[in-house]
Structure 1
């Protein structure tokens, strides 16, 4: 019988936030128990240090640069539900492969891979058009606008978009005044365009200044329908848990694939009363402990339904903890243990080395550890193999099947080289030299940041990938991660006899890798990432989008 798959993905969780990875200030008994019952990966690597590209790589088994989900501009993640960028329709997710093998597929939680392309109802990037039979969750991601009394994350970007549209209208007015537009009388054109210009500016300034961005991005959907606009954070946790539990119960005869994509522990941190001020690590620790409880509830459901032995279970984070997430002097982001850097910080380990835990009773050895390079992209060929699905032959799949490594049939990972991108810029490369156990890592570019613990990147917000906010290294910074996992002691020809030979081999691998890349449309180009009113999911009459239909068509039950 084909095993069920329950894949749980945290948001912005640091590898050092979990007990089984060394944390002694936050209680994570359920995740720790999962590790005791399964396999813990110590070198589990995300394909990007930011949400959108990392999740695209997870779903497709491919570096995000291959699908156009890696950006060459400053916008490295999708910014709006009403943008036109997203996971391209010609990409094949592992959900599609499993659906073809008879699996019922569901996604509960965060998506952040786009919604529409050309119209408000084409849903070209929507989960249901990427292999999922059922979706309940947030098509975007948490931002400060989703919680009252928080500083805006997106207001400046919206103002930039509005100014762009304003310029277009001014150009149209100018064209009328200079006689370059015909078809209507000059008086009618002038009146119409001037009215549109001033009406648009008045509306946009009023609408955005009162925080109505919340109604555009902070929404919940069930399949194609908006159910909450704006979402009610105080009940989001319970609703998502109910949906995950209900999906398992409805499909317990299997086989099924369920991805639970937590909104925890992305800022703004939201908590139910029972976990408020519970941890020793403030609101962030409380959020981690609430997420751990959610993991426990899902695992208990699997057990209660008699599915334990026939369910392949996985837990990971999409990338490292967000060092720069602060509220005043209070840290709101995660801890990446001994590893340098964090979310958005190029190829530093802290942004890409994440927890990875897998359980499949009777098939994977309990309480075992794999200390070999693995990737979130590896889940793609692994679950495909478990489902009896063939991998697509018309494209490169960068992930490797984990089963031989997890079952200790082989000693080494199939990954020899791993390429660490920041947007579409190659920042670092690791080389796993299997014959002697060395794990080399060369940094060609690194972001400038002033603090190992709080980030403090050049400028504001997430660290940039290029420009004045990065340092180019020639020769590259070289580390042996097997001896220096914290990346604090760069090697040189003086202290490493193999220095030049290692860099020469890595450079050759980079050349070979680049030959496999083909140009594709950038999904986060300025044109694609901009807010477009005609693509805005809306429950009601745009722009006054509002609804609260949490009971409409849902399958829920009370969870104690």
Structure 2
């Protein structure tokens, strides 16, 4: 009941507040990549990166990503040297969606989430939209923005977060998808639970999934082509005729993003796009007959692309075969996270080209970041900052930023939501806890500091970092005053006489901050009765 009232209020504010002034608000696109450490992006200058097929450390240039567009965005916009997320997907996505840490929304880890009793009296994981009703979409909508969520979800109740439209890969009702058998399903065989590749019928050592790369599972929400709120795609004769083995999920996402941008631009509405791409995440390589975990390719190949004379060229994929025996005819790359990052760079180029076509290149903000460290390296790690150090690039020509290029500041992914609120002209009630801090004051003034510390968490473990001192999830203390070549091998502080006294003081100050957030063991679940009423958002 409370959420229905809240939604009605936000919609009424958005509609009543929409005027010509809204047209001047910048469009906002947030591209939230999956499982990509800062070290994988060349502009961060790491001496080490990940390698195929299963990850690990490499300095082999063959596996180094090539990102001319991200490099340009980083150097003409800004790139943040030290940006932290959480150590794994779900708590990071909760942080991005809400601007809050785990002590509030209770998503401590993928398999460690706070419990509440729902309206039917059943215990379940506390939904993010119940713990934190002011999601990034609701904040943007209050400011008059049209909103789209494209890509990965990992959150139930996708229609409860405030997005007008969605294109989800995979979707909400994938078991009903008749168009693809690219899925790994848990089933029973001889009385035991096993995972089957439904394309081949082979038992595999993996995890249940519906394919999001090649011949993907896609579901639309509230798209103009939909007859109902949710529809499996392809859902038109033209889409069904073109869909096949060559259809690549990240391409489908971007096609619908561009369709949304075109429509909203014609309607004269600013838009907020939340693009949660799968690129960077592992996935079953359905084109490979190899089902052995020891040699399985973690990052399936992408369509081939080429950067030449200041633009990208893409080879149209051609794939033939069935039931695990496929021929890609030289149109698909070998596996590797570097190819995923290269394809992300291609998509950033596509975004910029689309902005130019629509005539909005000077009024659109593009934010590129990731949710946690790379699988096989940092993902799920509370050690040092392996799991939490992610790339963050902000390209915003309309902001008239006072900064450009590398910014040696501390930023948390929770900072994105209040940044969106600032851009949208929306004030969040002061009694509604937001742990993020807007980046706009730093980006548009001569101020040299954004935050004095950043925080993250991994289940019951806590990580915190200041300018010179870091405490990781294992309680180990590091001197982080200078970055090592691999971005991770900071010297351990085990003798305080070897560092300045100000470092010791900083350490003591950091310890004073942690108790506020250290609620995993004493307030793990939702508070009884939920959060109660919250004050309304205010449009400036």
Shared fold (TM-score greater than 0.5)?
yes
Map Cα deviations across residues 486-539 of structure 1 (whole Å, 9 max, x no partner). 34421123423537544433222223444899836369xxxxxxxxxxxxxxxx
Aligned positions of 1:492-503 closer than 5 A: 492-493=494-495, 494-496=497-499, 498=501, 501-503=505-507
Distance in 2 separating the partners of 1:369 and 1:100: 32
Which has more radius of gyration? 1
Match of 1:18 among 41, 51, 76: 41
How far 1:365 moved relative to its partner?
A: 4.5
Match of 2:252 among 216, 239, 249: 239
Aligned positions of 1:347-358 closer than 5 A: 347-358=383-394
Relative to 1, partners in 2 of residues 1:357 and 1:484: Cα closer, same or farther, differing over 3 Å? closer
Match of 2:462 in 1: 427
Distance in 1 separating the partners of 2:348 and 2:394: 13
Answering whether residue 263 of structure 2 is matched by residue 227 of structure 1, we say no
Q: TM-score, normalised by structure 1?
A: 0.63
Q: Are the aligned partners of 1:405 and 1:412 in contact in 2 as well (CA < 8 Å)?
A: yes
Match of 1:378 in 2: 415
Q: Are the aligned partners of 2:302 and 2:332 in contact in 1 as well (CA < 8 Å)?
A: no
Distance in 2 separating the partners of 1:67 and 1:422: 14
Answering whether residue 438 of structure 2 is matched by residue 401 of structure 1, we say yes
Structure 1 unmatched ranges of 5 or more? 77-82, 115-124, 160-199, 325-340, 433-438, 446-475, 524-560
Answering whether residue 493 of structure 2 is matched by residue 521 of structure 1, we say no
Match of 2:452 among 411, 416, 419: 416
Q: Are the aligned partners of 1:419 and 1:426 in contact in 2 as well (CA < 8 Å)?
A: no
Q: Are the aligned partners of 2:412 and 2:455 in contact in 1 as well (CA < 8 Å)?
A: no
Match of 1:28 in 2: 67
Match of 1:480 in 2: 479
Distance in 2 separating the partners of 1:522 and 1:345: 26
How far 1:400 moved relative to its partner?
A: 0.5
Distance in 2 separating the partners of 1:312 and 1:26: 24
In structure 2, the residue corresponding to 1:53 is in which secondary structure? helix
Q: Are the aligned partners of 2:301 and 2:334 in contact in 1 as well (CA < 8 Å)?
A: no
Higher-helix-fraction structure: 1
In structure 1, the residue corresponding to 2:465 is in which secondary structure? strand
Distance in 1 separating the partners of 2:99 and 2:457: 15
How far 1:369 moved relative to its partner?
A: 2.4
How far 1:373 moved relative to its partner?
A: 0.2
Structure 2 unmatched ranges of 5 or more? 1-23, 47-60, 115-122, 173-178, 222-228, 235-242, 284-298, 306-327, 528-540
Match of 2:508 in 1: 504
Distance in 1 separating the partners of 2:244 and 2:521: 40
Relative to 1, partners in 2 of residues 1:345 and 1:215: Cα closer, same or farther, differing over 3 Å? closer
Q: Are the aligned partners of 2:145 and 2:271 in contact in 1 as well (CA < 8 Å)?
A: yes
Distance in 2 separating the partners of 1:489 and 1:369: 23
Distance in 2 separating the partners of 1:283 and 1:514: 37
In structure 1, the residue corresponding to 2:72 is in which secondary structure? helix
Match of 1:138 in 2: 169
Aligned positions of 1:317-328 closer than 5 A: 317-322=370-375, 324=376
How far 1:272 moved relative to its partner?
A: 4.1
Aligned positions of 1:64-463 closer than 5 A: 64-71=102-109, 85=125, 86-91=127-132, 92-114=134-156, 125-126=157-158, 128-138=159-169, 155=186, 210=201, 213-214=208-209, 219-223=217-221, 224-227=229-232, 234-252=247-265, 253-268=268-283, 269-275=299-305, 283-322=336-375, 324=376, 342-362=378-398, 363-365=400-402, 367-413=404-450, 415-423=451-459, 425-432=460-467, 439-443=468-472, 445=474
Q: How many residues align?
A: 403
Q: Are the aligned partners of 2:457 and 2:473 in contact in 1 as well (CA < 8 Å)?
A: no
Relative to 1, partners in 2 of residues 1:416 and 1:278: Cα closer, same or farther, differing over 3 Å? farther
In structure 1, the residue corresponding to 2:162 is in which secondary structure? coil
